[in-house]
């Protein structure tokens, strides 16, 4: 599975955001309709201050005075999910050579199986390793502690847990060692 392709399409990233926001602030899920298009246009723009995402197109998502009554978690979840996906993609690039070699070996086995008339084995489901979950937590924590965001330690912990749990719910966790290999 190519994380870059999934992110650009919005499918996997949107699923992850929905899972995370349902866990911590389910009432904010309808706001995704308003915030998602602006976020997708330029995801890096919102890393400076996710709160600005609620003021989409010069107005405020959800109607007047929304941000004065409650500061939504959704912009933070959206940005942190993107950060976590980027961390996973960057880690995967470091392991790309081994994956290509393994893929070529599998392709050779499939070719031999196909020529022999036997059924090719199914590809395993994509699952996270403990080291990848740790990378997600580290990346999300580092991004959420940005002083411009002014989040408390409790808010950082809540957001980190929501994003981590969304990834685990979406992909599951495989056994393996802590370094992600």
Note the pLDDT tens digit of each residue in 45-93: 888 888 888 776 444 454 444 444 456 888 999 999 999 999 888 877 7
Burial class (CB in 10 A: 0-12, 13-18, 19+), 53: buried
Give pLDDT, residue 160: 94
Work out the mean pLDDT of the chain and round it to a whole number.
Answer: 77
Query: What are the sequence ranges of the domains in the chain?
Result: 3-171
- Whether residue 78 contacts residue 39, with contact meaning beta carbons closer than 8 Å, is answered with yes
Give the span between the Cα atoms of 113 and 157, in whole angstroms: 49
168, pLDDT greater than 90: yes
């Amino acid at each position: 599975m190519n994380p870059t392709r999934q992110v650009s399409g919005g499918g996997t990233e949107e699923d992850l955001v929905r899972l995370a926001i349902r866990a911590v602030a389910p009432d904010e899920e309808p706001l995704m309709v308003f915030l998602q298009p602006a976020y997708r246009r330029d995801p890096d723009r919102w890393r400076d201050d996710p709160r600005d995402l609620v003021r989409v197109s010069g107005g405020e998502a959800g109607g007047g005075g929304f941000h004065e009554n409650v500061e939504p978690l959704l912009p933070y979840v959206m940005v942190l999910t993107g950060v976590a996906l980027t961390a996973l993609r960057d880690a995967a690039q470091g392991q790309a050579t081994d994956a290509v070699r393994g893929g070529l070996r599998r392709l050779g086995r499939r070719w031999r199986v196909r020529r022999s008339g036997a059924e090719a084995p199914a590809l395993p489901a994509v699952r996270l390793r403990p080291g990848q979950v740790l990378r997600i937590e580290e990346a999300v924590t580092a991004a959420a502690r940005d002083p411009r965001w002014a989040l408390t330690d409790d808010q950082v912990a809540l957001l980190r847990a929501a994003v981590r749990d969304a990834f685990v719910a979406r992909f599951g966790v495989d056994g393996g060692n802590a370094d992600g290999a």
